[in-house]
Amino acid sequence: MQSVKVKVKSHEDFLIESLKDPEEAAAYVSAVFEEEKPEPELLPLCLGHVAAALGGEGDRQWVKDFGASDKSLAVYELAVWLDSLGLKLTVDVQYSEKFMADFREAQQDIANGDVVPFERR
**For residue 100, what pLDDT is reported?**
82
Percent of the chain with pLDDT over 70: 93
**For residue 38, what pLDDT is reported?**
81
Distance CA 73, CA 41 (A): 9
In a domain, 4, yes or no: no
Domain count, the chain: 1
In a domain, 77, yes or no: yes
In a domain, 65, yes or no: yes
Percent of the chain with pLDDT over 90: 55
In a domain, 80, yes or no: yes
The pTM (predicted TM-score) of the whole model is 0.73
In a domain, 38, yes or no: yes
| pLDDT tens digit sequence for 57-76 | 999 999 999 999 989 889 98
In a domain, 73, yes or no: yes
Boundaries of domain holding 76: 11-112
